[in-house]
Chains A and B, each alone.
Chain A
Amino acid sequence: MTFSSKDLRTFLSTYKIVALLLIIAVIWTFFGVLTYDADLGGSQFLTARNFSNLLRQMAITGMLASAMVFVIVAGEIDLSVGSLLGLLGGIAAVLDVLYHWPLAGTIAVVILLGITVGTFVGWLTAYQGIPSFIVTLGGMLVFRGAVLGLTGGITVAPASEELKYIGQGYLPGFMGNGLAVALFLLLAVLAFRTRAGREKHGLPVSSIPMEIARLVAIGGVILGFVLTLNSYQGVPVPVLILLVILGVFTVIGDKTVFGRRIYAVGSNLEATRLSGVDVNLVKMMVFAMMGLMCALAGLTTTARLAAGTPSAGSGGELDAIASCFIGGTSMRGGIGTVIGALVGALIMASLDNGMSMLGVETFWQQIVKGVILVLAVWMDIVSSGNTR
């Protein structure tokens, strides 16, 4: 008994993501059963339509969480992202609704502003030595104040059709399929190139059948994902953006010098500095990335609501931070993955969505989400054997 539970523990701590997917499976089964309705011919939770909704709901939190995970891995925190999202979304709305700027111009300006503000926050933290908790707590108030001043406290509407597409549009079915095929081919090519590289250096490789089995499994997941979404209206644009971010950020985290340094800085700042790494620059760039994600999330929020509202993004920072922690990011820095954070966001979104569907009152929803957050981190600590 003890032997098998120990084995399970090692397995789960090595493949954290499996544990998280198991949690999602449990949550989905739970809501799937509870929303079963014989008259409507099946479970209301487990439909293509709801799956699409769920993904769209998590997209904005997911964008913030993708960059937040790097901020936390680097040993910092950013409390200002909800407000910055609101401010940048508000600016997008003003440019679009009041000044009728072309979409490309709006996007360019908002993204540039996001990166600039993020870089400034990072500079204050990394080069001026103000703790990020303080800088971003201040930023949270400043940005929220600014968006209130900018919009005069009222909703700026209606957004242009082009902008709305970012938040509400769907990819046509054939494009979704095309992208899926392209993604699969890319992954297959990469897998075999990695293999060739490892063989060249005489490093161990897995057997050909194993490799093929792995690719078939990946292909199955991609196919299932796209077909499900296509059976409703297609891949939602915000979900596509989020998937691109997931891909790019995972590559940044795993494959680039910058990514490696983020983890090093979070694990031991001084040792990293003494290895000849410009640690301040690394930190500042992490905040710049966070700013960029606030811009994308702000644009998506405005597009989805078809309006700029003064309260957009309120509490977004807490959802993003919670997603990271549920997804296995360590509070102490040095550990965390983008995919983990996104699965964390999916767990939160599933709870929101399922409970709303069941008509659970809002106050209960908050209580349940809070409990789940603490529970998830507790399970993570227990499974990695880090209890005191």
Chain B
Amino acid sequence: MADYLLEMRGITKEFNGVKAIDGIDLVVRPGECVGLCGENGAGKSTLMKVLSAVYPPGSWSGTILWEGKELHARNIRDTEEAGIVIIHQELMMVPHLSVAENIFLGSEPTTRAGFVDYDAMNARASELMKQLKMPDINVALPVMAYSGGKQQLIEIAKALNKNAKLLILDEPTSALTAAETETLLTLVKEFKARGMACVYISHKLDEVAAIADTVTVIRDGTHVATRPMAELDTNEIITMMVGREMKNLFPREAHEIGEVIFAAKNVTVWDTTNTERKLVDDVSFELRRGEILGVAGLVGAGRTELASHLFGCWKGRHQGAILLDGEEVRVHAPRDAVRQGISMVPEDRKRHGIVPLMGVGHNITMSVLKRFTRRGLIDAEDEMAAIQGEIRRMRIKTAQPLLPIASLSGGNQQKAVVAKMLMPNPRVLILDEPTRGVDVGAKYEIYKLIFELAKQGVAVLMISSELPEVLGISDRVLVMGEGRLRGDFPNTGLSQEKILAAALGKQDQVAA
């Protein structure tokens, strides 16, 4: 019996002559949890795609030993058969199929006549749900009836059902609430105790610290270090990830806060499918020139829905006044908002932020393209000069200004989306989870930019689920819970506990 369950040695993968990863080692012992850390674009996903044979053997070099023997996997099916199961950042569920059907997708039990054996399938699925401490899930209901967090756990049930020996979790908690994250971490620990190994990929280093036995850090496609977690703390991991000391995570800068320029009055937003349900319930607030207003709350608190109303893009029923300089403005569509000087950087970058087939540059100029026209035609040179200016200013790393944006790393895509929404020179900037899925370096740059904008007098509304970020950036913090405004605190002496308590509606106990 070999020492290692999985042994990846000297893995190198090139794309068009550029080395995405270069000689990376990753080893996992049976029953061990390895935290894999690295900035976006460091090569984590590439490494996992090599392991799961998304990139077939021959397209990369190096060796992979699985239980001491060379792994010959030609596709994901082969790796899953061997016992390696990957749970991706984006959920891979078929929304209209039932929970059980999703769990058994591709391996449906059949009766002797060749029909799907639903009884066996549902029974086994229910049993798995009990193992995952979710006994109240009805496995016959369509998966879309459950929240993103529950779906993530169902995804894990799917992996368990495949008898995984090695579970790879790629940013599993990016859409989970704190409670759901807790459940997930507990489960992973239980699996570990049962001898299942796992590779845990996450930007949330606290989670890594909580469950990993060993941490492997990679940077710019190369292996930096593999050390026991016991010898490390999160700051050291960050230092290794970025290759420099991160002294100040939040580059706070003094900025002047002026008069009220923006206000929302009695905003109520109803669900699109369940039209009686209020997602935002009578929320009002004011925003001042140069002020950074953080909006905290648990997932599902109605923050994104509030932002959608303010930006004119909520598809269901909604009401509430939007005031600029004390005057009510009509915002029926995003273009009205942009025209009035309100910009929004949406939460879901892939679906709502980028136009994937177009170049980085053309993404950036999208909302102000008319500015570069002369007699109705785009002056390509004028536009290109502006694009290059933005790419430099935002430090977007791209080989060419017109490279398709989809080929950039998440952090650089996000910077381009922010650049796009800053082009119209907004007075009010709404940022919905601006640093989700963004690496530490890009995060820092986005924070700096926020302060820069505040200095220039832009009012910033920042929705964020990362409490340290909310506390590190905001001048004032709004807390939402179940659609209602549950707190409005100046950011002095504010703690994560106080925000959480407010979000959960337990403000009184804290105040007392």
Contact = CB atoms under 8 A, between A and B. Distances in A.
B378 A255 contact: yes
A214 interface: no
A271 B334 contact: no
Given A255-B378, A256-B376, A274-B313, A268 B338 contact: no
B352 interface: yes
Interface string A225-267: 0000000000000000000000000010001110011011011
Contacts of A213: none
B296 to A, nearest CB: 23
Interface stretch (A101-109, A198-206, A356-364): A198-206
Given A201-B385, A271-B352, A274-B344, A260 B334 contact: no
Contacts of B299: none
Contacts of B16: 10
A264 B357 CA distance: 8
Contact of B378 (A10, A203, A260, A268): A260
A255 B373 CA distance: 9
Contact of B355 (A255, A264, A276): A264
Nearest to B401: A203
A197 interface: yes
Contacts of B354: 268, 271
A352 B278 CA distance: 61
Contacts of B367: 275-277
A306 interface: no
A267 B381 contact: no
Interface residues of B, number: 38
A276 B337 contact: yes
B339 interface: yes
B277 to A, nearest CB: 23
Interface in A254-303: 255-257, 260-261, 263-264, 266-268, 270-278
Given A276-B337, A276-B424, A257 B370 contact: yes
A275 B358 contact: no
B420 A275 contact: yes
A334 interface: yes
B179 interface: no
A29 interface: no
Interface of A: 10, 194, 197-198, 200-201, 203, 251, 255-257, 260-261, 263-264, 266-268, 270-278, 334-335
25 contacts: A197-B380, A198-B381, A200-B381, A201-B381, A201-B384, A256-B373, A257-B370, A257-B378, A263-B358, A264-B355, A264-B362, A268-B354, A270-B352, A272-B355, A273-B334, A274-B311, A274-B334, A274-B346, A275-B334, A276-B335, A276-B424, A278-B333, A334-B355, A334-B356, A335-B357
Interface of B: 16, 311, 313, 333-335, 337-339, 344, 346, 351-358, 362, 366-367, 369-370, 373, 376-382, 384-385, 388, 420-421, 424
